[in-house]
Structure 1
Amino acid sequence: MNQTQTSLYERLGGHEGIARITRTLIENHMANPIVKTRYANSENLERVERRVVEFFCAGAGGPETYSGEDMLTTHRGMNVSEQEFVSVIDDAMAALDTHGIAPDARNEVLAILWSLKGEVIRV
């Protein structure tokens, strides 16, 4: 099976690969002065991480079901700025790079994340 026939989920390493990427993503957020306090002040960071893994797996074509709220409901009232949104995407791209994810898969993830902009920024 070539890359065009392989799902994004598979190219990201399935559930375990996505869980590793997500752990790195959270670490990147915690070290990022632009978004650090949003994560440091989370009541349950482990729950956030589980939901991100679910969301990422389901969105990448995996068999997992996302059990959290939709993006708009999750971010409503948070007043996420454009700078924070871009910073989170930068952290995600760095996490993918850290785990050696191929450029085509990174670009696919970038497109997905960018498509969520209207459901995250200043809602």
Structure 2
Amino acid sequence: MNNPNASLYDRLGGVYAIASVVDVFIDRIMVCPILNANPLVDEAHHRVPKAGFKYLVTEMVCMATGGPQRYTGKAMKDSHTHLKITPSEWTVFAGHFKAVLDQFKVPEAEQKELFEIVGTTRGDIVVEDAPASRKAG
């Protein structure tokens, strides 16, 4: 994990470590009242089994960080545009991600790389002109 020449996947600890982070992260976002105040997100969070969602996110993170896994889910744009995710909801999502990475003591350098990767998906996920305020229930 200390070899700077190793892939991000290897520096994160491989599939088991990534799956552990994804497990906690998905548990957090699935019940977040701020994210679920968006009725489209709330419905999506309850439409599919959590285990399958975690599986696909794990595949995606592993592939994006240089692992041998291949992401088999839908394109980010196809699976998110209809959810009308706002910039502020993206910020809440990112805050949960940061908190979980901190919980697992992921070093700052690796966190920075992860956030750069996640940031490349923002344009396919966030709808800039989506309604900005929703009330958490």
TM-score by length of 2: 0.81
RMSD of equivalent CA atoms? 1.9
Q: Distance between the aligned counterparts of 1:38 and 1:17, measured in 2?
A: 29
Q: Distance between the aligned counterparts of 1:77 and 1:103, measured in 2?
A: 33
Q: Distance between the aligned counterparts of 1:115 and 1:38, measured in 2?
A: 25
State how 1:32-111 maps to structure 2 within 5 Å. Answer: 32-36=32-36, 37=42, 40-111=45-116
Question: Aligned AA for 2:20?
Answer: R
Q: Distance between the aligned counterparts of 1:21 and 1:39, measured in 2?
A: 21
Quote the residue 1:21 is aligned against.
21
Q: Distance between the aligned counterparts of 1:30 and 1:120, measured in 2?
A: 16
* The structure with more radius of gyration: 2
Deviations 1:51-94 (A, max 9, x none): 00000000010000100011111112111111111111111111
Task: List gaps (5 residues or longer) in structure 1.
Answer: none
Quote the residue 1:6 is aligned against.
6
Q: Distance between the aligned counterparts of 1:40 and 1:75, measured in 2?
A: 12
Shift in Å at residue 38 of structure 1? 5.4
4+ long deviations beyond 2 Å: 1-4, 36-43
Q: Residue 2 of structure 2 contacts residue 11 of structure 2 at CA under 8 Å; is this kept in 1?
A: no
SS at match of 1:106: helix
Task: List gaps (5 residues or longer) in structure 2.
Answer: 37-41, 129-137
